[in-house]
C-alpha cells in the first residue's frame, strides 16, 4: 500500500518512524478514515515504541475528529481504545462548544459510568457465587 503524508511516500509502515506514523494518524483523522485509524492503533505490526499515540501534537487528531463530527472514530477512541480525557481534549470540547461537543462530553461520562457498573457487577457476581456455595 502506498500512501502520502505531507508529500512523502510511505510504502511500508514498519519502515517509518513513530513521528511519521503519528503524522499519518493525524492525516487519517482529518480524512475520517476509520479503518486506517483503527489499523494504526491496533495492528500487531506496531510495538509500543512505534505505535502512533492518539494524543499526538496536543490532541490534534481529536480536534480534527471534532471538526468532522466523526462519530465512528470518536466512539472507537472513547469506548474501545479507552482514550484518556486530557486537558487538551477538554479544551477542544470547550472550544467547539456545540451540540456535538456536548454529546462527546456525555460519551466520556457514559464510559466512566459503564466502568463503575461493570465493576459493581463483577463484585456482585462474586458475592452471588459465594452464596450459592
pLDDT for residue 6 is more than 70? no
For the chain, the domain total comes to 1
Rg of the chain's alpha carbons, rounded to an integer?
Answer: 18
pLDDT tens digits, 97-126? 999 999 999 999 999 999 988 887 666 665
Q: How confident is the model at residue 3 (pLDDT cuts 50, 70, 90)?
A: low
What DSSP state is assigned to residue 14?
Answer: G
pLDDT at 98: 96
pLDDT tens digits, 44-93? 877 777 788 888 888 999 999 999 999 999 999 999 999 999 999 999 99
Q: What percentage of the chain carries pLDDT values higher than 70? A: 78
Using CA atoms, how far residue 42 sits from 34, 37, 54, 63, 96, in Å, is: 12, 9, 11, 21, 28
pLDDT at 1: 44
* Helices and strands per DSSP (H, E), number in the chain: 6, 2
- Structural domain for 43, as ranges: 3-132
Mean pLDDT, to the nearest integer, of 37-45?
A: 86
Q: Three-state DSSP class for 45?
A: coil
pLDDT tens digits, 17-30? 888 888 889 999 99
Higher pLDDT, 2 or 117: 117
Q: How far apart are CA 46 and CA 49, in angstroms?
A: 8
Amino acid at each position: 500500500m502506498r500512501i502520502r503524508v505531507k508529500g512523502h511516500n510511505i510504502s511500508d509502515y514498519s519502515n517509518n518512524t513513530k513521528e511519521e506514523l503519528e503524522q499519518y494518524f493525524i492525516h487519517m483523522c482529518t480524512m475520517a478514515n476509520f479503518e486506517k485509524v483503527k489499523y494504526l492503533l491496533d495492528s500487531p505490526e506496531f510495538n509500543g515504541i512505534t505505535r502512533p499515540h492518539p494524543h499526538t501534537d496536543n490532541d490534534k487528531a481529536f480536534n480534527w475528529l471534532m471538526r468532522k463530527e466523526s462519530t465512528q472514530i470518536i466512539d472507537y477512541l472513547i469506548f474501545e481504545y479507552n482514550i484518556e480525557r486530557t486537558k487538551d481534549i477538554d479544551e477542544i470540547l470547550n472550544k467547539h462548544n456545540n451540540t456535538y461537543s456536548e454529546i462527546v462530553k456525555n460519551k466520556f461520562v457514559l464510559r466512566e459510568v459503564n466502568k463503575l457498573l461493570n465493576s459493581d457487577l463483577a463484585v456482585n457476581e462474586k458475592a452471588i457465587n459465594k452464596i450459592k456455595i
